[in-house]
Structure 1
Amino acid sequence: MFKDHAKIIHAISSAGEINGRKKLQKMIYIAKKLTFPFQEKYQFHFYGPYSEELTLRVEELCEMGYLNEVREKRAGYYQYCYSITDSGRDFLSMHEMDLPTLEPCLCDMNKQNARFLELVSTVLYFDTLEKDEVMEKVFTLKSKQKYTHEEMNEAYEYIKKLKEKAKL
């Protein structure tokens, strides 16, 4: 149980600070698809892959004092920012993590916006399909996002870049 919690703390610690619940969800999903050992189950939801397990684990970690959750008001909505606490660092020091390529991947993802990570995670969710079928799914399921063919190609290139960083 605590090993899975430690992985989430390690991920947030590696990224520094993650701004947004949606962004956190997408980063962990993408990392999982890159074969990093995250155990949370995902299903397709309004904003792409979503894990209720991850939401619950993050809430538990905040309640235990291992993660900070700061609610910030942004243009008409609230955004939640996550960072590790000193107690979280202490907890992490008791759980050795041997994931050397995880940090550069998460840091790179953290520089991207949530909309792009939503696209990347959606592409990865349908990774058993051919590219043209994935594009059709994205244009249908994510029609409100108005993704372009150029953005789709950027998502595929980004996935390729992340796989190289993860040394897959």
Structure 2
Amino acid sequence: MLNDHVRLMGALAASGEIIGRKKLQKMIYISKKLDFPFQERFQFHFYGPYSEELTLRVEELTNLGFIEEVKEKKGGYFQYRYTITDSGKEFLSMYETKVPHLDECLVNMNEQNSRFLELVSTVLYFDNLPQQEVIEKIQTVKAKQKYSAAEIDEAYKYIESLKKIAKPQE
């Protein structure tokens, strides 16, 4: 169990700051789908894959003072910013947390917007289906998002680029 907390803290440390709960969820889910060692279980939810376990783990680490969660009012909604605290960095320094290529993938994903990561994670959630069926699923379950064919194509290309970062020797 503690290893899962340490991995999450390492992900935050590598990312610097993650803006948005949805973005954090998608980054961890995508990392897991790239075969990085995240153990959280995900199910499909309003904004794509979601993990109650991940939400609870973030809450626990926040309560311990290892992660800082800053709630900001943005127009008609609240946005959350996540960073690792000095106490979290000190705690993390006692563990070997480096997973080859994970940091590069996380930094790359953190540069993307939440809407795009929602699309990428949804494509990965249905990756057992042929591409045409995935596109149909996206147009059904994500109808409100109005993802274009070009955006879906870009998501597939992005997934391939992440796979090259995650496993460069293959």
Q: Taking structure 1 as the reference length, what is the TM-score of the superposition? A: 0.98
Q: CA separation in 2, counterparts of 1:143 and 1:59?
A: 31
Partner of 1:77: 77
Are the equivalent residues in 2 in contact too, given 1:3–1:95 (CA < 8 A)?
Answer: no
SS in 2 for 1:38: coil
Q: CA separation in 2, counterparts of 1:100 and 1:68?
A: 26
Q: CA separation in 1, counterparts of 2:100 and 2:65?
A: 25
Task: Give the total of aligned pairs.
Answer: 168
Partner of 1:128: 128
Q: CA separation in 2, counterparts of 1:47 and 1:129?
A: 19
Q: CA separation in 2, counterparts of 1:129 and 1:146?
A: 21
Partner of 1:38: 38
Q: Taking structure 2 as the reference length, what is the TM-score of the superposition? A: 0.97
Give ranges in structure 2 of 5+ residues lacking alignment: none
Superposed CA offset, 1:71-105 (max 9, x none): 11112111000000011011111121131201110
Give ranges in structure 1 of 5+ residues lacking alignment: none
1:3 aligns with 2:3: yes
Superposed CA offset, 1:116-154 (max 9, x none): 000000000000100000000000000000000000000
Q: CA separation in 1, counterparts of 2:98 and 2:14?
A: 12
Partner of 1:93: 93
Runs of 4+ in 1 over 3 A off after TM superposition: none
Q: CA separation in 2, counterparts of 1:12 and 1:77?
A: 23
Q: CA separation in 2, counterparts of 1:91 and 1:39?
A: 20
